[in-house]
Each structure stands twice: as C-alpha cells, then as structure tokens.
Amino acid sequence: MSERFPRHNVLESIGRRAIAALVAVCMVGSGVTPVIAGPSGDASFQKVKELQGQGADAMQMAANADLAGRYSQACQGYRNAATYWENAIYAALGMLTDSDYDNEKVKNHTAALQVGVDEAKQSANEVCGKEDDPQASGLSEEEEADMELAESEEANERVKVIVSEARQMSDEALSAHDAGDSAGACQKGRAAASLWVRARDTYAAIPRRDEGTLASITTNASQSEADRDEVYCLQSDVDVLIAEFDTVYAQANDYEAQAKRLYAEDDSAKACQAGRLATQYHTRAATLSRQIWTRLPAENKDAIDPPAYEKHAATMAEFERDYYCSGQ
C-alpha cells in the first residue's frame, strides 16, 4: 500500500462510515429513535423494516469487501445499501397521516435513514471506479484468504437465519390462505417474498458461495413472489383497484356533469377545465377497469366491461376537443 494512504487511516475511514450508516439505521429499530407506529399488517410499515434490513446487509458486506480491496464488489454493495434505504424512506413517507405525533415519528425515522443513505453514497463515490487491489488490506495472502473465509461464514449464518424466517413466513401465509384469512395471507405472503429476496441477494454477494445453493434460494424467491402476486394478494389487489375505480369513476362523472352545465351556461373557460378533468378521470377509470378485469376469475369477468369504459373515455375526449375546449 502506498504511503499516501496509510493502512490504519483507510481502516478507520471505512469503519467510521460503515458504523455511522449502520448505527443510524439500527437506532430506528432499537427504540433509541422512535419507531413509526403502525399495525403489523400495514404494508408500508412492513416494507420499511424489510428494506432497512436489506440495506444493513448490503452495507456490511460492502464494508468487508472495501477493506479487502474488492472495490468493484464494494461499489455495488454501497450503491445497493443506498438504494434500499432510499426505498425505505419512500415507504415510510407513505405512512404520513393527519396526526402530528405520528408524522414526527416518520420524520425522525426518515432522518435516520437519510444518514445511512448519505454515508453509503459517500462510500460508493470513494471506491467506484477503483481497480481491485488484493493488497489494500495490508494482509498476507493467507490472512486475506482467512478473512474472506470468515466473511463467507458470517454471511452464511445470516442467510440461514433469513431462510429460516422466510420458510416460517411462507408456511404461515399458506396456513392463513387455507383458513380463508385473505388479509393475513397477503401480509405474510409479502413478508415471505421479501425475506426470500433478501436471502437471495445476501447469498449472491458472498465471495465463497455454492452456486447450487444460490440457485435453490433464487428458485424459492421467484416462487414466493409468484405466490404473493398470483395467490395470496390477488384478491387484495383487486379490492384496492375496485375501491380506486369507484372513486375515480364517480369523480369523472361529476366533472362531466360540470362540463355539460358550464357549457350550457356559456362559461367556456370553466367548461373546458371541467371537460379536461372529466377526460383524464374517465381515461383513468377505463385503465382501472381493464386492470380489474384481467385479475378477475373467468366466472366473474362479466362483472365489469372495460370496452364500454374505454369507449366512454374516447367519447369524452372528443367532446372536450370539439365542444368544451374548441375555442381555447
């Protein structure tokens, strides 16, 4: 190693950044920083926790790779950590409510996560583009091999814990589904899929890994995601789409009625504005109707008629162009 970068300074720098990031994020879940209040079934709350864990895994493995001079691997790991934690921030913002008390918790939570994001990005900026340097750690080849082995064993143990949790959650999702608990099945199905993906990504980053094991975990992750989307959360997603459709379609009809009334009253500016909104909302309703139809079982597809909504949206667009906004 060059004298310009003494080994102890490099180690201290990497360690300080990694610790700053991990401590900030771990504090969120330890009670030092107030945790966002939310029911265990809240999808956003679960997503935040899952993304925090994935980011912590990525940051830890990136720091280990950085110390060992595997800069390309460290670069990707730091970037992954930043991405996971940024996504956790977005998920947390989805939990904002009308309560100042709860929103203050969200603010504290996202602030802690942002520290992790900033540290991870700073670390990525410092290593990305650097050539891998096996001698960067200042260790002999034998010591380097021992450290890599230790890292792999540590990561393997983490993966075992994650896989165990994923299997348990998969079993619970199936049990809830069999018991007719659709909400519980969806919640646990989402958690199981996230855990399998976390296990896959963590294992894939291990320097010494078994490709057969990786393939097995990857298969489980893919199957778990399919189960989540096609079995456990299918009806839940349909219910969400139907609720949105009802709201959007009602608003579309309201704007359409306003446009007709204002046009009859010769208020062209407001008629045009209402007509444009009616077109936008009818177009969205048509899109939702198609999404709902594709998710319904064959015996229930007659419950909604996407072509009719699509035709109405097209007609509304014509009226907007030819009448309500013709002089605009």
**pLDDT at residue 103, rounded to an integer:** 76
Query: Highest-confidence range of 121-135, 138-152, 302-316, by mean pLDDT?
Result: 302-316
Tell me which of 99-103, 120-124, 247-251 is least confident: 99-103
Residue 13 pLDDT level (bands cut at 50, 70, 90): very low
Average pLDDT over residues 208-220: 91
**pLDDT at residue 40, rounded to an integer:** 35
CB 232 within 8 A of CB 189: yes
* Closest alpha carbon to 63 in 51, 76, 52: 76
Separation CA 88–CA 82 (nearest Å): 10
**pLDDT at residue 46, rounded to an integer:** 74
Half-sphere exposure of residue 308: CA atoms within 13 angstroms, side-chain side: 6
pLDDT for residue 48 is more than 90 = no
Average pLDDT over residues 240-265: 88
CB 68 within 8 A of CB 144: yes
CB 65 within 8 A of CB 212: no
Separation CA 53–CA 22 (nearest Å): 10
User: How far are the Cα atoms of 61, 72, 126 from residue 69, in angstroms, in the given order?
Assistant: 12, 9, 12
pLDDT, tens digit, for every residue of 282-300?
A: 999 999 999 899 988 888 8
Q: Would you state the CATH architecture of domain 152-232?
A: Up-down Bundle (1.20)
pLDDT, tens digit, for every residue of 220-232?
A: 999 999 998 888 8
Six-digit token pair at 127?
């290593």
Q: Where are the chain's structural domains?
A: 1-138, 152-232, 235-324
Separation CA 82–CA 170 (nearest Å): 28
Average pLDDT over residues 187-202: 88
pLDDT for residue 62 is more than 90 = no
CB 76 within 8 A of CB 84: no
Q: What CATH number belongs to 1-138?
A: 1.20.120
Separation CA 135–CA 216 (nearest Å): 34
pLDDT, tens digit, for every residue of 17-42?
A: 554 555 445 544 433 333 344 433 35
User: How far are the Cα atoms of 97, 257, 304, 305 from residue 308, in angstroms, in the given order?
Assistant: 37, 19, 9, 6
CB 256 within 8 A of CB 278: yes
